[in-house]
């Protein structure tokens, strides 16, 4: 279970992260690429849920490194990790912050950052993590 502030804390400690907006929503970028953004549901999104319950609370979208990584993240079966039909062929997952495990959230945020960071920056980060 996490809050948006918890997620922001995890995001902003990563190297070279810049906060901005995209489509009027808070978005976090590395090297000009958005890797995490707040993603409230639109009326159309809510309608697509039909009779299924609509996830409540803050929703964070996170980039993934392709559709295979998206499938793997979804297949892991972690509570609070999901997608919607609007994202069907888009390399991103959605995180229901008030449901997801904090460790799962942290790993997903790092994976999103790694998917978008320039290779030298990502490799430097990973080397530093191994050294720590």
The reported pLDDT for the residue numbered 1 is: 84
Question: Could you tell me which CATH class the domain 4-131 is placed in?
Answer: alpha beta
The reported pLDDT for the residue numbered 132 is: 81
Distance of CA 42 to the CA centre of its chain: 18
The reported pLDDT for the residue numbered 29 is: 99
Q: What are phi and psi of 13, to 5 degrees?
A: -85, -10
* Residue of 8, 17, 6, 5 lying closest to 101 (CA atoms): 6
Residues 6+ apart with CB under 8 A from 112: 35, 36, 62, 63, 64
CA dist 109 and 112 (Å) reads 5
Residues of the chain with pLDDT under 50: none
The domain locations on the chain are 4-131
The reported pLDDT for the residue numbered 60 is: 98
Q: What pTM value is reported for the model?
A: 0.94
């Amino acid at each position: 279970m996490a809050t948006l502030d918890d997620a922001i804390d995890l995001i902003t400690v990563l190297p070279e992260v810049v906060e901005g907006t995209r489509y009027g929503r808070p978005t976090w970028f590395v090297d000009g690429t958005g890797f995490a953004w707040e993603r409230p549901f639109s009326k159309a999104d809510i309608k697509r849920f039909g009779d299924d319950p609509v996830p409540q609370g803050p929703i964070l979208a996170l980039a993934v490194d392709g559709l295979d990584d998206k499938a793997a993240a979804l297949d892991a079966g972690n509570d609070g990790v999901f997608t919607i039909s609007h994202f069907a062929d888009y390399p991103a997952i959605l995180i229901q912050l008030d449901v997801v495990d904090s460790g799962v959230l942290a790993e997903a945020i790092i994976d999103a950052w790694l998917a978008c960071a320039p290779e030298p920056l990502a490799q430097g980060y990973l080397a530093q993590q191994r050294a720590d």
